[in-house]
A = this chain, B = another copy of it.
Amino acid sequence: MAQISSRILNLNGGGSDGWEVFLKAREMVARGVDVTELTIGEHDIRTHSDILDAMHKSAIAGHTGYAMVPGVDRLRQIVADRVTRQTGVPTRPENVMITPGGQAGLFAAHMAALAPGDTALYVDPYYATYPGTLRAASAIPVSIPTRARDAFLPSHETIRAAAQTHNAKSLLINSPNNPTGMVYPKETLQEIAQACQDHDMWLISDEVYDTQIWAGEHISPRALAGMQERTIVIGSMSKSFAMTGSRIGWIVAPEPLIEGLIALATSTTYGVPGFIQDAAVFALENAERLEPEIAAPFQRRRDLALSVLAEQDTIQAVPPSGAMYLMLNIRATGLSGRAFAEALLETHKIAVMPGESFGDSAAGHLRVALTVADDRLADALRTICSFAKALADQHAVA
């Protein structure tokens, strides 16, 4: 066989990618085992049928040919208006490119911000695809560690030191955060913004959970002083409208960068299906009705989960201020997140993600996706807590 480029052979860094528990749970489900699935960020509801009907209507009406590569005018306008309204930053359609999902946006943003071989910073814990995405863009990923006791918020000193040492060209942040559920406070964002300006870095801001805020306020760093010209925002319809499978999102950035991204998209995707864009237009035009419906169950389950956790003291958790996850600190058991998750699946047929899947900073944690019905979630959490307590008691004795 001819030689395969090494750039696609080592995208997960050569180590285990930590998805064994997820895959094992899928296998068990396929075998008919009744597993409580709390692994991935997939809603337990489907895309609203009104949105799907709008999609079909568009397709049947003939929007089945090539759509314009940057996105259809109407959708770019609606996204621009939405961003202007939500952030106060005047945003034009020319600041917006529609992408086939948030992941494609993350990749394109790093292609735009970095030359091959440049260093790209990202915060640990991180969404599982981040390091691979930076490598796919031929960048060198360098992680910014955080600590559970700091609520997993990055410190600007650590960012500055890494930027300096590696001459980094970009920093990727994610607020509200997957996996930690943290919504970055304004001071944290201001410190990050200043570090980006001082070290001439692009700030790539993954805001795909921006409609799921349970405490505090979501601030887009693009709205901070001096940041409009060095921030690339990633948005998506996936989480906000339960449209994960439609693969549609966007990038908001300075116009010259969007122009470059349009040329890149011409070579890498050739745009997004027009009927899916029309469905997104429909969804965004009906956001007031549809978004709260999608977000409500996660807020309710987040509150429920915290009340279950309040009944015990083995497991610690920083209350999530957004998104659809809960991070459980199970260090008192003496087990790694992975060992705990494997034992939990084996013993109780409950599947959660080991914290280690999201980076070293999340070691000794579990990520629980709040994506099953309330009763089942509460039961699963009670089981996790008593399982942890037994292990911790054993650990204390040993």
Asked if B245 and A115 make an inter-chain contact with CB atoms under 8 angstroms apart, the answer reads no
Q: Which of A236-285 contact B (CB under 8 A)?
A: 242-247, 254, 256-257, 260-261, 263-264, 266-276
Asked if B268 and A136 make an inter-chain contact with CB atoms under 8 angstroms apart, the answer reads yes
Given contacts A115-B5, A115-B7, A230-B1, contact A104 B135 (CB under 8 A): no
A132 within 8 A of B: yes
Q: Which of A109-152 contact B (CB under 8 A)?
A: 111-116, 118, 129, 132-133, 135-136, 138
CA distance A66 to B264 in the complex (A): 25
Given contacts A9-B260, A11-B264, contact A269 B104 (CB under 8 A): yes
Binds B, one of A55-63, A172-180, A360-368: A55-63
Closest to A107 in B: B268
Asked if A64 and B247 make an inter-chain contact with CB atoms under 8 angstroms apart, the answer reads no
Asked if A267 and B5 make an inter-chain contact with CB atoms under 8 angstroms apart, the answer reads no
Asked if A269 and B5 make an inter-chain contact with CB atoms under 8 angstroms apart, the answer reads no
Interface residues of A toward B: which range?
35 or more
Asked if A246 and B103 make an inter-chain contact with CB atoms under 8 angstroms apart, the answer reads no
Q: Which of A1-47 contact B (CB under 8 A)?
A: 1-9, 11-12, 40, 42-43, 46-47
Asked if A8 and B100 make an inter-chain contact with CB atoms under 8 angstroms apart, the answer reads no
A379 within 8 A of B: no
A8 cross-chain contacts in B, Cβ below 8 A: 111-112, 260-261, 263-264
Asked if B46 and A2 make an inter-chain contact with CB atoms under 8 angstroms apart, the answer reads no
| Minimum C-beta distance from A239 to chain B (A) | 12
| Minimum C-beta distance from A224 to chain B (A) | 14
CA distance A264 to B6 in the complex (A): 11
Q: Which of A148-207 contact B (CB under 8 A)?
A: 169, 200-202
CA distance A83 to B135 in the complex (A): 32
Asked if A103 and B42 make an inter-chain contact with CB atoms under 8 angstroms apart, the answer reads no
Asked if B64 and A242 make an inter-chain contact with CB atoms under 8 angstroms apart, the answer reads yes
Asked if A1 and B254 make an inter-chain contact with CB atoms under 8 angstroms apart, the answer reads yes
A229 within 8 A of B: yes
A49 within 8 A of B: yes
CA distance A256 to B8 in the complex (A): 11
Asked if B270 and A101 make an inter-chain contact with CB atoms under 8 angstroms apart, the answer reads yes
CA distance A59 to B243 in the complex (A): 11
Closest to A69 in B: B103
Given contacts A65-B245, A247-B270, contact A132 B263 (CB under 8 A): yes
A260 cross-chain contacts in B, Cβ below 8 A: 4-5, 8-9, 11
A62 cross-chain contacts in B, Cβ below 8 A: 46
CA distance A325 to B100 in the complex (A): 29
A242 cross-chain contacts in B, Cβ below 8 A: 64
Asked if A55 and B46 make an inter-chain contact with CB atoms under 8 angstroms apart, the answer reads no
Given contacts A1-B254, A103-B268, contact A66 B46 (CB under 8 A): no
A6 cross-chain contacts in B, Cβ below 8 A: 115
Q: Which of B12, B42, B245 contacts A273 (CB 8 A)?
A: B245
A344 cross-chain contacts in B, Cβ below 8 A: none
Asked if B245 and A275 make an inter-chain contact with CB atoms under 8 angstroms apart, the answer reads yes
A112 cross-chain contacts in B, Cβ below 8 A: 4-5, 8
Chain A to chain B contacts (Cβ below 8 Å), 12 pairs: A1-B256, A49-B60, A52-B59, A64-B242, A65-B244, A100-B269, A104-B268, A104-B270, A116-B138, A129-B270, A247-B271, A247-B273
The 5 closest A-B pairs by CB, nearest first: A47-B64, A8-B260, A103-B270, A136-B267, A2-B230
Which residues of A pack against B, CB within 8 Å?
1-9, 11-12, 40, 42-43, 46-47, 49, 52, 55-56, 59-60, 62-67, 100-101, 103-104, 106-107, 111-116, 118, 129, 132-133, 135-136, 138, 169, 200-202, 229-230, 242-247, 254, 256-257, 260-261, 263-264, 266-276
